[in-house]
Structure 1
Amino acid sequence: MHALDVLGDPVRRRLVELLAQGDKAAGELTDVVRDEFGISQPAVSNHLKVLRDAGFARSMPAGSRRIYALQAERMTEAQQWVDAQVAFWLTRLDALDTELHRGRRAASEEES
C-alpha cells in the first residue's frame, strides 16, 4: 500500500501526529482518537494495525500495555512524493511569474 493511501485517512493521520510527539500507549492513543473522532476502541485498533502493517508504526509489549512508536523511515515515501509535486509546481509557477513580468513590461512599453 502506498504511503499516501495509508495517510489518506484522517484517523491514521492523527495517530501519526500523536506518535510524532513520542511513543504512546495504545490506551492513550485510543482515548484521544475516540474523543476527537467518536469511534470505538476496536476501530482505533484497526487503524493502528493498518499503520503497523504498512510500516508506519511498531508496537512493543510493556506489561499489560502495548506501546506504539512511529517508524519515521516510512514517511520518506510520502515526503518524496510531496517533494516531486512541489518541484513540479514551483517550476510552473516560476514560468508563470516570468510571463506575467513580460506581459507587464510589454504593456508599459506600449503605453510609452
Structure 2
Amino acid sequence: YATDGTARTLRSAGLEVDDVRKVNDPGDGPSVVDLIRRGRCNLIVNTPDGGPEPRSDGYLIREAALTARVPCITTIAAATAAVHAIANARVETALSLQERIDVETRARAS
C-alpha cells in the first residue's frame, strides 16, 4: 500500500502498489491508519513531505504503528538502509555446531 505521491514513486521504480488515502484526504476506502489498525501492514515508511498536514498525518500513522507494534521507518536514510538489508537478507538452514564447523572448514579450504 502507498499514498498518492509514494505510490507514483514506487510505480516509476517498477513496483506494484495498491493506493490508499492519507488520514486527512477525502475519499472512499480505508485510510492508511485504518489498514495499520486492521493488521494489513507489517512495515511502515512514513517520511513527511512538508505538505499542509504532514505532522498530523504522520503523527497518526506513527501512533497507529506503535499501537499495532508495526516497525515504522521515518527517514529516507533509514528506508534506504532497510531496503538494502531486506534485499541482502538470506535464509540459512539451522546447522549443528559440527555441521557449521565443517562448512567453515570447507570454505577456508576452497
TM-score normalised to structure 2 length = 0.28
Using CA pairs below 8 Å that are at least 6 residues apart, which structure has the higher relative contact order? 1
Greater share of residues in helix: 1
Larger Rg belongs to? 1
Greater share of residues in strand: 1
TM-score normalised to structure 1 length = 0.28
